[in-house]
């Protein structure tokens, strides 16, 4: 099972990762980050297949995927 980390304080909420996730496992977090933006979070890591599309599309390198 892949291990995914998201740097929520670095996230600018562009939602590119949400649009590219084939499993629909990434959603908007209701809590604000240090920038005052709602970052993304994984709603279920069990759904993640480790494709790393989210990490590849993230313009700020906030997501890391470990297989």
The per-residue pLDDT for range 40-55, each reduced to its tens digit, is 998 876 788 999 999 9
Pairing of strands 40-42, 26-28: antiparallel
The per-residue pLDDT for range 21-34, each reduced to its tens digit, is 999 999 999 999 99
- Write down the mean pLDDT value for the chain: 93
Number of domains forming the structure of the chain = 1
At residue 45, the pLDDT reads: 64
> What domain range is 56 assigned to?
3-66
pTM listed for this prediction: 0.88
At residue 44, the pLDDT reads: 74
CATH code: domain of residue 53: 3.30.70.20
């Amino acid at each position: 099972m892949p291990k995914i980390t998201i740097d929520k304080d670095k996230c600018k909420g562009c939602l590119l990762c949400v649009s590219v996730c084939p499993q629909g496992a990434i959603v908007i977090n209701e809590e604000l980050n240090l920038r005052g933006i709602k970052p993304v979070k994984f709603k279920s890591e069990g759904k993640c297949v480790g494709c790393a599309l989210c990490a590849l599309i993230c313009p700020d390198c906030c997501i890391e995927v470990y297989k």
